[in-house]
Amino acid sequence: MTEPLTQNIQDYLKAIYGLTSDGGKASTTALAARLGIAAPSVTGMLQKLAALRPPLVVYQKHRGAHLTPEGERAALEVLRHHRLLEAWLVESLGYSWDAVHEEACKLEHVISEEFERRIAAALGHPVRDPHGAPIPSAELVMPPTNDVPLGSLHGGERAVVRRVDCEDAPLLQRLKSLGLAPGAELNVLEVSPFDSGLTVQVTGQKPVVIDPATSSHIFVETVETMEA
């Protein structure tokens, strides 16, 4: 290992990882918005990360940045910490799922590898965090998933909620009250051709209408209907 990365750098790498999951580049502006930092500061940091030896990002002026293998490893390390911590705050300390993000965001930079090992073992080496996000393995491999956006379903399809990709506490509370949490089964009753709004029925609940802004945070796995 090289020198330990600062907390700030870890946050940058995590953000770049998140913004490049589609295979593209993370732009200066997108990073600035996500991190709440002024764009010029981001430029400076990207230049620095690209100049490190070994470099953590590949960066080209005006074209944004993406992670090098080293940068990705560092990002996955932090992400593993974050998601294990979230799982463990919920399972072991009784936090609600809308309250864990902030706490995990601070702890993730500070825990030791021993701490990581112990909570992973205590939880039985979970593969998903409380929001359904996949947890990178101890070897820093991100487990593959079959999750698709809820908004991609058609009327009549059945699915199981796998992931709610959201850090906003009020929205998480609302979704939980609607039963829209990982593991919930649902039926898509109707898709509005105008605004793509979805009418869905979670098993055992009343049907609800979900606007596209909300459904974009929800990922599901479709279920084969048993009867022909």
Give the range of 13-21, 33-41, 161-169, 218-226 binding DNA by CB under 7 A.
33-41
Nearer to DNA, 8 or 196 (CB): 8
φ, ψ of residue 37 to 5 degrees: the values are: -125, 150
The rounded distance, in Å, linking the Cα atoms of 25 and 15 is: 11
Considering only residues 18, 34, 48, 176, which one is a binding residue for DNA as defined by CB under 7 A?
48
Task: Give backbone dihedrals phi and psi of 193, rounded to 5 degrees, phi first.
Answer: -70, -20
We find the least distance from the C-beta atom of residue 84 to its own copies, in angstroms, to be 12
User: 198 has which bridge partners?
Assistant: 191, 210
Q: Does 47 bind DNA (CB under 7 A)?
A: yes
What is the CA 204 to chain-centroid distance, rounded? 28
Bridge-partner residues for 59, per DSSP?
Answer: 65
Window of 12-20, 65-73, 95-103, 180-188 that interacts with Mn ion by CB under 5 A: 95-103
Please name which of 85, 43, 41, 50 lies closest in space to residue 70, comparing C-alpha atoms: 50
> Which residues, numbered 59-98, are part of the site for its own copies (CB under 8 A)?
92-95
Least distance (Å) between residue 39 CB and DNA: 4
Identify the DSSP state of 19.
H
180, 218 contact by CB (below 8 A): yes
What's the angle, vertex CA 31, arms to CA 30 and CA 33, rounded to 5?
Answer: 65
**Residue among 110 and 228 whose Cβ is closer to its own copies:** 110
Among 2, 4, 24, 44, binds DNA (CB under 7 A): 44
Of 29-37, 57-65, 101-109, 155-163, which segment contacts Mn ion by CB under 5 A?
101-109
Stated as kind and residue range, the H or E segment containing 160 is: strand 158-164
- Asked if 125 is part of the footprint of its own copies (rule: CB under 8 A), the reply reads no
State the minimum distance, in angstroms, from the CB of residue 137 to its own copies. Answer: 20
- List 116, 157, 165, 185, residue binding Mn ion (CB under 5 A): 116
Of 221, 225, 202, which is closest to residue 152 (Cα–Cα)?
221
Applying CB under 8 A, the residues found at the interface with its own copies are 92-95, 99, 102-103, 106-107, 110-112, 114-115, 118-119, 122
